[in-house]
Structure 1
Amino acid sequence: MKLSRLAAAASLLVALVAPAMAQSDAGAPDAKLPVVASFSILGDLVKNVGGDRVAVSTLVGADGDAHVFQPAPADAKKVAAAKVVFVNGLGFEGWMERLAKSSGTKAAIVVASKGVEARDMEEEGHDHADDHAKGDGHDHDHDKQAHAGHDHGATDPHAWQSVGNAEIYVANIRDGLIAADPAGKASYEANAAAYLSKLQALDAEIKAAVARIPADKRRVITSHDAFGYFEGAYGLEFIAPQGVSTESEASAKDVARIIRQIKAEKIPAVFMENISDPRLIKRIADETGAKIGGTVFSDALSDDKGPAATYIDMMQNNIREFSAALSS
């Protein structure tokens, strides 16, 4: 009797386990699509488009600086396991090609910035150099000033700082996910459409906030030149001692010129960036009397408990900080 009960229990166990094993052996058809995003801001955009169908791993996490990132073996494993790898492009991830090659990944590489009109720092940097060489007497040709001349022909990669460009990212992400997972086409299209509506509202919110800032106060000092696309889209003017990469060093000449400009134009505030060493901005604030307006987020989100846990949160945080400091 006991034996028959044991046999029955064993049969039941086999009946319960076998389908799960078969599903696993078949490749788990209900498993999420493994994808990798190069940095936290892009990872958030991918999550919004991918929804429940994707499992997103991010290489450069919250408050991380992709300019100086050094991939670890664990990152190569993530890339190797991925079906799709999303990158910003525009020279932002100088380490990605080596990482992808060393990982042996077969993943599709999707450049999220494809179709964006990029800022050409070579043209801006040369104009800046020429102005000073000619001794034309201008202390500030703002778009070509200290923040533009450091990067020797680099393209500005920070395209996400314009919400209009983020909309292009979303379309590229949607198309990349559909190519990798055609069965999810309807889901990806619906998610992208819903998120694009939120981005359009965000774009309008930022434009309205900038319009409320007095025109003669729409100048911002930040650590490195990460807000050029924001400037082009919304009309705030950004000046930075470092170039488009945090790897570049701010020269004493550039810092001195910015200090003179802040004093001459009575620029009211300077801003910390979450990824940058605050000492340079503190020095500029001390020497000019400009107040430190708060922390803004340029190249990375905050952690989940911070004020910039998502892309939309980040952009709202930044315009709040700019508005509060420049409107007072």
Structure 2
Amino acid sequence: MFRTLRFATYTSLLALCGLASSASAAELNVVASFSIIADFAKNVGGDRVAISTLVGPDGDAHVYQPRPADAVSLEGADVVLVNGLQFEGFMSRLIETSGTKAAVVEVSKGVEPLNSAEEEQHHDGEAKAEAADSHDHDAAAEAEAGHNHGGFDPHAWQSIHNAEIYVKNIANAFCEADKAGCATYTANSEAYLVKLGALETEVKAAIDSIPAEQRTIITSHDAFGYFARDYGVKFIAPEGISTEAEASAADVAKLVDQVKEDKASAIFVENITNPRLVEQIAQETGLEVGGTLYSDALSGTDGPAPTYIDMFRYNVDTIRSAIVGG
């Protein structure tokens, strides 16, 4: 009898091992171009996906130089997630070098891109339609443009509404690549979208508590155009939408004059940029540096912004505290 029980137990363990092996084999291998997209993917994919990130926490995708290991990651991927809007200038050559057969998905597909020269203003309906029509969703084509963002502001994740579009695109991509897991991806994305909706309400309430005349602030580079559009904060920056080009002395002088004219309330460094320029501007304008904002990358797990929701909440709290205190 005991021998029979032992045999049955052994057989059951083999079956369980076989199921575990099968589940592991079914796991979706995903490569995300940078940390914010990786966090979206983790929330959608849950335990069914294995995610690697090319540009990690506190990394600057504008100037990132791929490593040989990145090509290996892409070669073994089932899905590659990129921002698009010509944000990842390194991506096209990397995809070509890797020879990957993975689906390359632009998660910004469907957003209304801001013109980089007018990122603090709404486009009218016709301009939006033209921008959408000209939006290149072939990720492989964007590398040849280098760090030229093609006239669009690529930092679309700085709008929670756009983040919701990213999440839906990721869920659709995972469902296409792993139909057996589609119900899981759909449920996970819907649960996460609820959290993003609650975050949007929280953010608007926090910004509304800042007097409108005090909502002009300075950051290192133009990463917050979508934030400005959606939440009514004016951002001034010495550098453009890419951190690759350094601000000239004339640019800094012009910004100092603008700060005095617009009566900026606070100035912030960014986690991905050298604080030296912001510290110089702070000294010349008499503003005190109000802290660090997370723009193009999350923090590490031991930092204040290890997830997208943490990042947005931390940025808003930091802005509010620097202007009105508390």
- Of residues 214, 218, 222, the one that matches 1:221 is 218
Residue 266 (1) aligns with residue 236 (2): no
1:243-268 Cα shifts (integer Å, max 9, x gaps): 00000121222211111122233322
Q: Counterpart of 1:185 in 2: which secondary structure? A: helix
Question: How far off is 1:16 after superposition?
Answer: 9.6
- Of residues 149, 164, 167, the one that matches 1:167 is 164
Contact 2:119 2:229 in 1 (8 A): no
CA distance in structure 2 between the aligned counterparts of 1:309 and 1:235, rounded to whole angstroms: 25
Residue 119 (1) aligns with residue 126 (2): no
How is 1:2-13 mapped onto 2 (pairs within 5 angstroms)?
none
Change (3 A) 1:151 1:280: farther
Question: How far off is 1:174 after superposition?
Answer: 0.3
Residue 249 (1) aligns with residue 221 (2): no
- Of residues 95, 100, 109, the one that matches 2:104 is 109
Q: TM-score, normalised on structure 2?
A: 0.84
Residue 56 (1) aligns with residue 35 (2): no
RMSD after superposition: 2.4
Residue 46 (1) aligns with residue 18 (2): no
Q: Counterpart of 1:119 in 2: which secondary structure? A: coil
Runs of at least 5 residues in structure 2 that lack an aligned partner in the other structure:
1-6, 121-146
Identity fraction in percent = 57
Contact 1:178 1:184 in 2 (8 A): yes
- Of residues 73, 80, 83, the one that matches 1:78 is 73
Q: Counterpart of 1:155 in 2: which secondary structure? A: coil
How is 1:121-140 mapped onto 2 (pairs within 5 angstroms)?
121=116
Runs of at least 5 residues in structure 1 that lack an aligned partner in the other structure:
1-10, 126-149
CA distance in structure 2 between the aligned counterparts of 1:20 and 1:72, rounded to whole angstroms: 38
What letter matches 2:156 in structure 1?
Answer: A
CA distance in structure 1 between the aligned counterparts of 2:149 and 2:182, rounded to whole angstroms: 42
Change (3 A) 1:38 1:152: closer
Contact 1:151 1:248 in 2 (8 A): no
Change (3 A) 1:186 1:263: same
Q: Counterpart of 1:55 in 2: which secondary structure? A: strand
CA distance in structure 1 between the aligned counterparts of 2:35 and 2:303, rounded to whole angstroms: 13
CA distance in structure 1 between the aligned counterparts of 2:74 and 2:60, rounded to whole angstroms: 19
Contact 2:119 2:153 in 1 (8 A): no
Question: How far off is 1:105 after superposition?
Answer: 0.6
1:258-297 Cα shifts (integer Å, max 9, x gaps): 1112223332210010000100000000111101010000
Question: How far off is 1:152 after superposition?
Answer: 8.2
Contact 1:85 1:110 in 2 (8 A): yes
CA distance in structure 1 between the aligned counterparts of 2:23 and 2:149, rounded to whole angstroms: 49
- The count of corresponding residues between Structure 1 and Structure 2 is 291
Partner of 1:180: 177
What letter matches 2:51 in structure 1?
Answer: V
Residue 88 (1) aligns with residue 83 (2): yes
Contact 1:122 1:151 in 2 (8 A): no
CA distance in structure 2 between the aligned counterparts of 1:84 and 1:71, rounded to whole angstroms: 18
Structure 1 stretches (4+) deviating beyond 3 angstroms?
Answer: 14-24, 27-31, 122-125, 150-153
1:18-39 Cα shifts (integer Å, max 9, x gaps): 8799789xx8444321111000
Residue 287 (1) aligns with residue 280 (2): no
Contact 2:294 2:315 in 1 (8 A): yes
Change (3 A) 1:17 1:77: farther
Question: How far off is 1:121 after superposition?
Answer: 2.0
Contact 1:37 1:85 in 2 (8 A): yes
CA distance in structure 2 between the aligned counterparts of 1:19 and 1:49, rounded to whole angstroms: 29
